[in-house]
Amino acid sequence: MLRHACVVFIAGAIAACGSEKPKESADEFVARVNNDLQQRGHESAMADWVQQTYITPDTEQLAAKAEERLLEYYPKAVKESKAYAGMDISPESQRAMKLLKQGLSAPAPDDAAKREELTTIMARMQSMFGAGKWCTGSPETCRNLEELSDTLAKSRDWDEQLEAWTGWHTISPPMRKDYRHFVELANEGAKELGYGDLGEMWRSRYELSPADFEAETERLYVQVKPLYDGLHCYARGRLQKQYGKERVPDGKPIPAHLFGNMWAQQWNNIYDLLEPYPGVSNLDVTAALKKQGYDATRMARSAESFYVSLGFPKLPASFWQNSMLTRPRDRDVVCYASAWNMDTRGDVRIKECIQPTEEELYTIYHELGHVYYYLSYLEQPFLFQGGAHDGFHEAIGDTMNLSMTDAYLADVGLLPKGAKSSKEALINRQMKVATDKIAFLPFGKLIDQWRWGVFSGAIAPEKYNEAWWDLRRKYQGVEAPVARSEEDFDPGAKYHIPNNTPYTRYFLSFILQFQFHKALCDATGWKGPLHECSIYGNSEAGRRFREMLALGASRPWQDALEKLTGTRQMDASGIIEYFQPLMGWLEEQNRGHQCGW
């Protein structure tokens, strides 16, 4: 299946070392592989689309079989590529062969029976997540993830929130045995390709050694940690006012069900509790969407118009015909938002169960970032149809989100026009953005840290849940609200675990989007505070963005980054600049409070 996080497509390639004399030139070999993978990838994408938008045992098997055929092809192509080791071949073919080797998130063993077993397990875990419901009695009492998430977002009652959180986490223990065997099979496949384990293979995609890449993610996190620590300390104080110090004590992690999000990964749903200056400014975009009758299509059209204002083309008619923008009433589907590049030739789609809320408005702008990246690199060969690295793919739409300033939202009628911005209004706005962007950073980092440990064996199967909560306490400063044991499998309650989608891309994207935003604002000649800049309607910013996106994966990510920003190193200083007003305010607010955990 073609997969790229909340994205879906393939980007792959390979390094060589073998001895058999090839029957075709390296360029001819790469051209054939590009063609073969395009055909097999299209078949897998179609089967996977049906399986995720019409969950039945039959579609589950069809998706598994299509994926099996794709997985069968990769190791054979990798083996053939070894014949070109040591030969003088073009840089393009060298890069294509390297990417081929790294092209799957879960390479299957060469053994046909094990390959079938792996694809069956993967399809089954995805279906278990997509069809997951928590029931308290009769079928009428069953609630799915969106319904339980809605309770967390809106309720301020400890017991109601706890029931919703605990209920959803009952869907994942049955995955535990499957996940353990999945790890064994995928590790075997990665070792056959020359990697120590699947985590090492994932980290090798970043043009750095696995150890250097781990050090790089830690360096970036250290840059932004003071921001998160200040936000966490402030949030604890506000939650203490709501629930009492006996439930939210000083100096300890905060119960995870209180943040309005099933994984406490973003805190924007409890902005009403965190708002610094209540009533100072009207930032209720959700109320405006509902009042103005926005439906799923109108929200998607709004996102499209933003990209078009920068010089991107309108979306093809097939996008509107083939996308799933709302939850069907007659069947189970995987509602988790994702963007799909079905055939790498222009059939692009979105799968999202859109509701008229501010959070989902931002999500659709984000998903169209993937779609426009797909469309920007359509002229590249199949193996180069991917992000410069996967964090780039996630950062595109979020860069656009940063331009959805109060002024922009007022221009499109979703906030009052002409309101003068006071210091208090600015802090409110920065707090609202921080509950999304800053709150996410430690969670974005720890998901794959857990998996890297699982894949390497540093986290034993009998310690899966314990290690999960150790990392969540260490990085997020959150705690399970009820006792957990190894009978539970809380990682599986997060889409990206049963779906096997690498997650470091999201952490990197939250760094890169601010770096991109600053570079694009500089390109427009913007001289004001970074948080007030919007590139909406600016053709020069659009031109520079499109030129970077058109490279796809044809060049190392450092080249793509330099093309847009002028530097070859990822850097979090843009986040610090953007949130300067809030950082100073939080420092004042937290003075005298016991911070940390």
Distance CA 582, CA 277 (A): 13
The mean of the pLDDT values for the chain is 92
Q: 255 forms bridges with which residues in the sheet?
A: 479
Distance CA 269, CA 151 (A): 11
Q: Which two tokens stand for residue 144?
A: 């799915």
User: Given phi > 0 = left and psi -120 to 50 = alpha, else beta, which region is 258?
Assistant: alpha
pLDDT at 20: 56
Got the DSSP string for 42-85? Answer: HHHHHHHHHHHHS--HHHHHHHHHHHHHHHHHHHHHHHHHGGGT
3-class state of residue 4 by DSSP = strand
Residue 539 scores a pLDDT above 70:
yes
Q: Which pairing describes strands 133-134 and 143-144: parallel, antiparallel, or unpaired?
A: antiparallel
Between 3 and 41, the higher pLDDT residue: 41
Per-residue pLDDT, averaged over 506-535, amounts to 96
How far CA 523 is from CA of 520, 526, 539, in Å, comes to 5, 8, 10
User: Smallest Cα–Cα separation from 193: which of 111, 75, 99, 105?
Assistant: 75
Q: Which two tokens stand for residue 108?
A: 């299957």
Convert 380-415 into a string of H (helix), E (strand) and C (coil).
CCHHHCCCCCHHHHHHHHHHHHHCCCHHHHHHCCCC
pLDDT at 103: 84
Side-chain half-sphere CA neighbours of 326 within 13 A: 12
Helix axes 504-524, 210-243, angle to 10 degrees: 90
For residue range 114-158, what is the model confidence (pLDDT) as tens digits? 999 999 999 999 999 989 999 988 888 999 998 999 999 999 999
Residue 105 scores a pLDDT above 50:
yes
For residue range 253-294, what is the model confidence (pLDDT) as tens digits? 999 999 999 999 999 999 999 999 998 876 789 999 999 999
Domain residue spans of the chain: 7-132+171-194, 282-418+511-566
User: Smallest Cα–Cα separation from 34: which of 99, 82, 84, 115?
Assistant: 99
pTM of the predicted protein model: 0.86
